[in-house]
């Protein structure tokens, strides 16, 4: 997080405590966030003398996390019930609601080689191996943009923001929406920009367009059309939008693991002193995906927490006159490898896609990582939801302290 962001936050003095929720991206892996939030809702419901209002005033999402954020914003007027509604939404989807391989004859699925050739042809034709029009249709039916406006009018939320990355210029954009966008001033940092405007389904599709897997989405910015892809790309400061939007406390839910050992080689060979084997395509793809989706989060959280500790150590009279404000950050990530969970469910991938990726060698040696972004089948989804609930309850004391005043 830049010093400019911190100074801006320090100069903003809201008259109430503002809680922000930041949801990172990761395709189907973001079902984990559903479990965490479902547990949070259950914990807050049984707190004595606590209203059942929606507990976050600022919502920020990236990639598939942006879809979760938009859904929560559209149902925030339901209070804590919004988390259960999100869980119900995830319980009804599968891969057919998110993507398809266009124009694939039924007989192709019986040949890995032919399926791989078809996959490559699709990638050359539209710049991506999958068609995400099913996702567009799903979002139009599931997310009420009018519900977001109702949430603003009811005072359930203050702001919602999603991020996307421009293939045209390389700039990372944050699209923010509030009850009155005109009174807010956009910000700009090197390689990053923000703009206040009503959110659309196109913003969500652009934010979740995983590179190589889903095609780029056109959006109008600065009076011209640019093509956008996944918001996790070039995202150097994932907490920055929440701070700019006035957050004092930030709960961030990621879906990656800091340690990714064994993704590209043979652990047995390594332990025997032989050395790791050369990485497979699946291992390289998994490493690349993890770098796109997860590696910046931990650094930004650590930096924000370090600054907060430094400010807390200053004499109170000194801190009171400085243009800085300490931001409390609570980060939750899976305690188990989602790659390993996905590896047990690879057989659930749509047959044609599984054979095509298998024909390219993308599901060997770490292929569980690549599959984890595309496994929207219910067995995998519910496994992640359950893990999210378990991890949240294991940190119940921290979560309840986060929501205390």
Task: Give DSSP secondary structure letters for 94-148.
Answer: -GGGT-B-TT--GGGGG-HHHHHHHHHHHHHHHSSSSB-HHHHHHHHHH--HHHH
Dist CA 106 CA 104 (whole Å):
6
* pTM score: 0.84
Q: What is the pLDDT along the chain (405 residues), one digit of tens a residue?
A: 554 554 455 445 556 789 999 999 989 999 999 999 999 999 999 987 777 899 999 999 999 999 999 999 999 999 999 999 999 999 999 999 999 876 555 544 555 555 566 666 666 666 788 889 999 999 999 999 999 999 999 999 999 999 999 999 999 999 999 999 988 889 898 889 999 999 999 999 999 998 888 999 999 998 899 999 998 887 778 888 999 999 999 999 988 865 554 444 444 444 445 555 666 665 666 666 666 665 566 666 666 666 666 666 656 665 555 555 678 899 999 999 998 899 899 999 988 788 777 766 667 665 678 889 999 999 999 999 999 999 999 999 999 999 986
Per DSSP, 77 falls in state G
Dist CA 398 CA 141 (whole Å):
36
Dist CA 208 CA 69 (whole Å):
12
- Which residues, other chains included, contact 76 with Cβ-Cβ below 8 Å and sequence gap of 6+? 54, 59, 82, 151, 154, 156, 157
Per DSSP, 167 falls in state T
Dist CA 88 CA 7 (whole Å):
40
Helix, strand and coil percent figures for the chain, each rounded to 5: 50, 15, 35
Q: Which residues are catalytic?
A: 63, 230
Indicate the pairing of strand 188-189 with strand 192-196.
antiparallel
Dist CA 170 CA 226 (whole Å):
10
Indicate the pairing of strand 224-229 with strand 217-221.
antiparallel
């Amino acid at each position: 997080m830049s010093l400019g962001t911190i100074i801006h936050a320090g100069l903003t003095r809201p008259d109430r405590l503002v809680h922000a929720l930041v949801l990172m991206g990761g395709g189907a892996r973001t079902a984990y966030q559903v479990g965490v939030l479902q547990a949070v809702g259950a914990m807050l419901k049984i707190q004595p003398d606590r209203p059942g209002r929606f507990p976050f005033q600022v919502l920020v999402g990236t990639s598939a996390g942006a879809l979760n954020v938009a859904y929560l914003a559209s149902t925030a007027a339901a209070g804590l019930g919004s988390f259960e509604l999100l869980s119900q939404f995830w319980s009804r989807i599968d891969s057919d609601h998110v993507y398809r391989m266009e124009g694939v004859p039924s007989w192709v699925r019986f040949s890995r080689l032919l399926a791989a050739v078809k996959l490559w042809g699709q990638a050359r034709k539209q710049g991506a191996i999958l068609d995400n029009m099913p996702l567009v249709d799903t979002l139009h039916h599931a997310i009420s943009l009018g519900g977001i406006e109702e949430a603003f009018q009811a005072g359930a939320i203050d702001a919602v923001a999603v991020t996307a990355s421009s293939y045209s210029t390389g700039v990372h954009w944050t699209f923010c929406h509030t009850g009155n966008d005109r009174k807010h001033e956009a910000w700009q940092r090197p390689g990053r920009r923000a703009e206040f405007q009503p959110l659309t389904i196109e913003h969500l599709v652009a934010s979740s367009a995983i590179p190589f897997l889903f095609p780029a989405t056109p959006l109008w910015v600065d009076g011209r059309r640019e093509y956008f892809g996944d918001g996790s790309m070039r995202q150097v400061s994932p907490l920055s939008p929440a701070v700019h939007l006035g957050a004092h406390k930030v709960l961030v839910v990621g879906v990656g693991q800091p340690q990714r050992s064994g993704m590209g080689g043979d652990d047995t060979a390594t332990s025997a002193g032989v050395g790791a084997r050369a990485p497979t395509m699946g291992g390289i793809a998994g490493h690349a995906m993890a770098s796109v989706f997860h590696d910046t989060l931990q650094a930004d959280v650590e930096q924000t927490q370090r600054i907060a500790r430094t400010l807390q150590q200053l004499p109170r009279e000194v801190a009171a006159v400085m243009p800085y404000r300490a931001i409390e950050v609570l980060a939750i990530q899976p305690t188990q490898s989602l790659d390993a969970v996905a590896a047990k469910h690879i057989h659930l991938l749509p047959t044609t896609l599984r054979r095509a990726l298998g024909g390219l060698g993308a599901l060997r040696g770490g292929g569980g990582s690549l599959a984890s972004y595309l496994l929207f089948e219910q067995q995998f989804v519910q496994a992640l939801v359950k893990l999210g609930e378990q991890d949240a309850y294991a940190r119940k004391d921290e979560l309840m302290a986060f929501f205390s005043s």
